[in-house]
């Protein structure tokens, strides 16, 4: 698959960061991405409990053969007596059901790249990947990927069926990929799809006030955005913003350009609810950072200078803890 240098992560237009924008605004962002030349669109059954796939499918249906459509299963909404809840389920029957539901919402007969959204530790990775492989053989999926797994898990999965991509968080302030997964992707010929490449907004330059984050903003429970840890991290922003200004780009563009120059098999998928920010992000593909700028920015924002973990409970099943 040949895709644009920068894709669009669609989650934020339906969920994740407080009250989502009106559906019409989300549609404008997706359409603007198309118009700007973006060809990689990433969604999931979980996002907005299906609403995101429905929105994305509606806008992209007429352009289906022009784009690469990605979604995820193995973690989706399940109806309980007290409402819909997120459930991680990597059993083959659950993966198949998730995929069929996604196909219907996306209004397509095939998903170009279908990920296991999270590894269900109750199910061997080989069994879940085998189910994904069955979907490929049936023509419902063209290629498969994994999200938030370790290098060891990736190699086990790849032995069962070729893994086309791994999607995990990667940015200047989240460097877990550099431990082993980024290199393993290169070794097996998989693309590394970097979500949250602008640090969930932290690398966009504007200070973040934890007190103003709504309860349903996922950052409200992330240690890096809270209390003394946030205060320490905000001290990095002034220096970081200065580097961006010296490089003649915005802070968000600096973060994206850095990723694009780290390795040729990296594709960032920033998300936004703003058309203006979308166009700013896409323009980062044309920015070339000097060796001096790369050195300065890596020395300023890295795993040693950032304070706090990604999640409040890294062993809660949210991610594969082998990566830490």
Strand duo 83-88 + 40-42: pairing: unpaired
Say how many CA atoms lie within 13 Å of 263 toward its Cβ: 21
Q: Which of 254, 208, 255 minimizes the C-alpha distance to 235?
A: 208
Measured distance CA(257)–CA(289) in Å, rounded: 7
Query: Vertex 183, ends 154 and 134: CA angle to 5°?
Result: 30
Measured distance CA(307)–CA(151) in Å, rounded: 25
Q: Which of 245, 307, 266 minimizes the C-alpha distance to 177?
A: 266
Q: Is 47 a catalytic residue?
A: yes
| Active-site residue, from 47, 115, 170, 240 | 47
DSSP-based helix, strand, coil % in the chain, nearest 5: 50, 15, 35
Helices (H) and strands (E) in the chain, counts: 10, 10
**Both structure tokens of 125:** 């990775």
**Both structure tokens of 90:** 């990597």
- The CA-to-CA distance between both ends of the chain, in Å, stands at 30
**Catalytic residue annotation:** 47
């Amino acid at each position: 698959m040949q895709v644009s240098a920068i894709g669009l992560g669609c989650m934020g237009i339906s969920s994740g960061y407080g009250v989502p924008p009106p559906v019409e605004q989300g549609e404008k962002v997706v359409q603007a991405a198309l118009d700007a030349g973006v060809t990689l669109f990433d969604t999931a059954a979980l996002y907005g409990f299906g609403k995101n796939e429905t929105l994305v499918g509606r806008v992209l249906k007429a352009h289906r053969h022009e784009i690469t459509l990605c979604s995820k299963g193995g973690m989706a909404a399940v109806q309980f007596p007290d409402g819909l809840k997120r459930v991680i389920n990597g059993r083959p029957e659950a993966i198949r059901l998730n995929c069929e539901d996604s196909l219907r919402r996306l209004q397509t007969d095939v998903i170009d790249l279908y990920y296991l959204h999270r590894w269900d530790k109750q199910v061997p990775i080989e069994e879940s990947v085998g189910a994904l492989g069955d979907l490929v053989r049936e023509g419902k999926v063209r290629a498969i990927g994994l999200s938030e797994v370790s290098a060891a898990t990736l190699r086990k999965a790849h032995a069962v069926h070729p893994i086309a991509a791994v999607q995990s968080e990667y940015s200047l302030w989240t460097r877990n990929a550099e431990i082993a997964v980024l290199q393993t992707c290169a070794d097996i010929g998989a693309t590394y799809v970097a979500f949250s490449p602008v640090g969930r907004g932290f690398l966009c330059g504007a200070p973040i006030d934890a007190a103003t984050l709504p309860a349903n903003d996922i950052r409200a429970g992330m240690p890096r955005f809270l209390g003394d840890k946030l205060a320490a991290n905000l001290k990095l922003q002034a220096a970081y913003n200065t580097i961006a200004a010296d490089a003649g780009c915005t802070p968000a563009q600096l973060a994206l350009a850095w990723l694009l120059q780290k390795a040729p098999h990296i594709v960032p998928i920033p998300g936004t609810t703003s058309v203006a920010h979308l166009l700013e992000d896409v323009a980062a593909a044309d920015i070339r950072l000097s060796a001096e700028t790369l050195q300065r920015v890596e020395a300023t924002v890295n795993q040693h200078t950032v304070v706090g973990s990604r999640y409040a409970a890294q062993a809660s099943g949210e991610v594969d803890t082998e990566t830490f």
